[in-house]
A and B are shown apart, each in its own frame.
Chain A
């Protein structure tokens, strides 16, 4: 295990939750997703910010959308229900499985834990936006080649997480792949094929 000292560039499941868990913590880590100066409500417990419906502009897979969202709406709901991008899946709806993972300005987030109004101005990439027309992203191709799925429901989330992993670490070893994908669950249990796919894709991407 001579790799031990090497700094991991990957996310563990906990980092993942910690950094992008929505709510106040998420806001502290990614302040730019906060909408500008919300109205303030005075309550018995003190002042709390108050959002009503809010107009946001987001770029999803290089297309611009301008839409009004409610404070309760998650990015996942907006993607699936309003933009009809159903490739991103909802499995647990509470940050436990990773099937809803999308890239938010290049960073993987659980879209079920990301409030839509915090994404104003952001660039979002979903599974639908990875392929270049008919040409698949090398990770998508590797998932097919290595049979890195069974039912396929977790696949979009795993592929997006893998894209993020390989962006930060071009040549991950097995342990790094494992920890990089630790925020995603595959109930069909096809992990070992997923590792192979990611590893094959990293080689392909490195050589091209």
Chain B
């Protein structure tokens, strides 16, 4: 049914990032059912982070902070032109500058966006490296370019690739939409627009490369150490076994640090040439140019509904712009969230001469949800139905897309109920915009769907040492979600310890394999693997204790660092004592093996927002967001709440402020910084109330947990927009909803009257 057309003539690398999140076909695994929550003492409660002390004292080392003996500063010269032919690069003067240890030409031929790498230097310090960059002489032959969607779509616009700038990449249909429209009592058609966003992680992208003979060590601010390692092996043509990638602490990625970066390769090449370690830190400006962005979207939805709220047909057309790479597939929400028998999707990429896009926390879903949920809100008003009722009316219990299989668990109904209760949904304007006065209040809501399953073959080890100390090891990375802490809590829970008593080792490719920290896959991969290893360790300890105590292993339980006869608690042996009798450590391998394939596994949620709109200034103030989520069992309530709070904050920021603006005359962004690129700060933050359905999925893994990284990022922008509609009675179908757009919309309303 669904076809994803391969695009010829496009560099494959620019497409790679997008395939990360798809739920892979799985083999039938032997699944241990997730236990009921009553059994747990630590899991599900709030546990403060085990690495908190390091963070609040400034001792946590980020890639930016790492210094090696003899380390050089690497800097990259980037094209100032959006499209140009590099005619010549003269490195000689830079090379001769005292203090410069290596120079590199990185490009011949065409550069395709402002910010593309052209040359690089490594020098003793930043000042010298900057000076050396200024001494590089590049002759460019500037070529015509198109950096905006409008221009790139025009007839005869300069082409980004050999193929035309507009390319269809998704074609999906089910049922018969024409028939569906005929059955409808009301048919609406609406246009929605979302802007290009920039990730802007606090720590800019950075890598350090160091060679020891043929062996390469790379410290990288990354969400995926193994992707970096394997990418380096491919590009540098050296065995992966000779590369070690280390990620210590990292200051945010949000999808922009999921793969190998070109500057990491440059660091490795410079280090090889200079025979000294090289560190490259990208600038804040680079963030807007060359390390990804969230593609814009320009969506049209036509939909039909019966008077009772039954959806009869939906048609989505999307033009999405992800620079030189493909835009975002924004159709998953419309395909899956609601039951609708007749549906058609057509999605097109519009290529421009701007840096390649990368997944941005919930790629496609933020844009798709904004459009779909806005549309639902207007449909509801059209047939005079409570918008929440419209959603409930079209509730689905199975995958509505390709597979049609039932959800293993779905708590969206619970989210609707708890969220509506918490925000007091009855307070909303029964007719959008019925309030009076200059300051108008409104309530709006939106639903969310995302994947959030684990990656098969994720490994974790538990080591029991002779002295009784315990280590849990996994080649994952903590990008702020509290991975270290839940690895400790899962281990501690299973082995009767306190989280602080477990040592956690992560972030190096010498550790057992784990995938990238992206797509809400980390918790449902790592936690079950650690749990698996810990269960094996517990079983071993029970058996050893049983021997010692002359019992059956089944009669032994683990409690407070001891193995205890459950029928006679006075009979026990300490874990430490058991292990002390061993001659060496004992290692247990854990794995997340997958889930039964006859079910669909998704995360769900619903956000409810309250806003106040100043009809004179056009200013929107978000007052409150209630964020209800079904992400399976919550492992650590404290860090889970932080995930939700962060997601909502970013969603509010997207709704109101964020937009990368390209200058059509220079081909460069006009706001490549954190001042002109607006991000929500302290004064913009609403009251945020996270709620969890906390349902235990019976099949997904041995803990019943799903991911939570993406979900809270998805519906808040849409919920805010819908609340604005409820407040002023006219829908602003474009984010960010800046005051000018609000005033514009209010005028529209007056004209319509």
Contacts and interface: CB of A to CB of B under 8 A. Distances in A.
Nearest to A77: B126
A192 B675 CA distance: 22
A89 B65 CA distance: 9
B253 to A, nearest CB: 8
Contacts of B639: 147
A75 to B, nearest CB: 15
Interface string B52-78: 110111111110110100000000000
Contacts of B649: 189-192
Given A127-B58, A151-B479, A182-B681, A188 B646 contact: yes
Pick the most buried of A91, A92, A150, A186: most chain B CB atoms within 10 A of its CB.
A150
A179 interface: yes
Interface string A150-186: 1111111001000000000000000000110110111
Contacts of B430: none
B132 to A, nearest CB: 16
Contacts of B252: 150-151, 153, 187-188
Contacts of B62: 86, 89, 153
Interface residues of B, number: 55
Interface stretch (B96-104, B197-205, B208-216): B197-205
A134 to B, nearest CB: 9
Contacts of B468: none
A136 B56 CA distance: 9
Given A84-B67, A152-B480, A99 B202 contact: yes
A154 B58 CA distance: 10
A145 interface: yes
Contact of A92 (B58, B251, B674): B674
A159 B57 CA distance: 9
B251 A131 contact: no
Nearest to A155: B55
B164 interface: no
Interface stretch (B176-184, B602-610, B682-690, B722-730): B682-690
Contact of A152 (B60, B283, B683, B687): B60
A130 interface: yes
B481 interface: yes
Interface in A53-96: 72, 80, 84-94, 96
A88 B201 CA distance: 16
Nearest to B125: A81
Contact of A144 (B49, B250, B687): B49
A51 interface: no
A88 B252 CA distance: 16
B394 interface: no
B249 interface: yes
A128 B685 contact: no
Contact of B203 (A72, A84, A89, A131): A89
B52 A144 contact: yes
A13 interface: yes
A185 B674 contact: yes
Contacts of A150: 252, 480-482, 642-643, 646
Contacts of A144: 48-49, 52-53, 56
Given A89-B64, A187-B201, A190-B645, A182 B687 contact: no
B58 A188 contact: no
A91 B202 contact: yes
A90 to B, nearest CB: 7
Nearest to A80: B65
A193 B283 CA distance: 29
Interface in B197-255: 200-204, 249-252, 254
B106 interface: no
Given A136-B56, A143-B56, A185-B674, A192 B688 contact: yes
B673 A92 contact: yes
A149 B480 CA distance: 8
A140 interface: yes
Contacts of B67: 84
A191 B682 contact: yes
B682 A179 contact: yes
B244 to A, nearest CB: 22
B354 interface: no
B638 interface: yes
A111 interface: no
A138 to B, nearest CB: 11
Interface in A83-141: 84-94, 96-97, 99, 126-128, 130-131, 136, 140-141
A186 B641 CA distance: 16
B284 A91 contact: yes
Interface string B93-129: 0000000000000000000000000000000000100
A13 B679 CA distance: 14
Interface in A21-79: 72
Contacts of B202: 89, 91, 97, 99, 151, 153-154, 185-188
B488 interface: no
B674 A181 contact: no
A72 B128 CA distance: 13
Given A181-B682, A188-B480, A189-B653, A88 B284 contact: no
B52 A91 contact: no
Nearest to A150: B480
Contacts of B48: 144-145, 147
A147 B638 contact: yes
A72 B679 CA distance: 29
B516 interface: no
Contact of B55 (A90, A149, A179): A149
B680 interface: yes
A92 B480 contact: no
A147 B642 contact: yes
Contacts of B685: 178, 191-192
Contacts of B60: 152
A152 B60 CA distance: 9
Nearest to B639: A147
B296 interface: no
B318 interface: no
B358 to A, nearest CB: 16
A201 to B, nearest CB: 11
Contact of A89 (B56, B251, B481, B688): B251
Contacts of A181: 682
Given A92-B674, A94-B284, A193 B56 contact: no
B647 interface: yes
A128 B55 CA distance: 10
B647 A189 contact: yes
Contacts of A87: 57-59
A130 B57 CA distance: 8
Nearest to B679: A185
Given A143-B56, A150-B646, A159-B56, A97 B674 contact: yes
A143 B642 contact: no
B648 interface: yes
Contacts of B201: 151, 153, 187
Contacts of A127: 56-58
B155 to A, nearest CB: 40
A151 B480 contact: yes
B650 interface: yes
Contact of A179 (B61, B646, B683): B683
Interface string B652-691: 0100000000000000000001110001111101011000
Contact of A86 (B64, B254, B643): B64
Given A154-B202, A185-B679, A190 B55 contact: no
Given A153-B201, A182-B681, 16 more contacts: A13-B681, A92-B284, A136-B53, A144-B56, A147-B638, A149-B55, A149-B56, A151-B202, A151-B249, A152-B249, A153-B252, A156-B56, A187-B202, A188-B252, A192-B649, A192-B685
6 contacts: A86-B62, A96-B284, A150-B646, A151-B203, A179-B682, A190-B646
The 10 closest A-B pairs by CB, nearest first: A87-B58, A189-B649, A153-B251, A150-B480, A151-B480, A127-B58, A144-B52, A86-B65, A153-B202, A152-B55
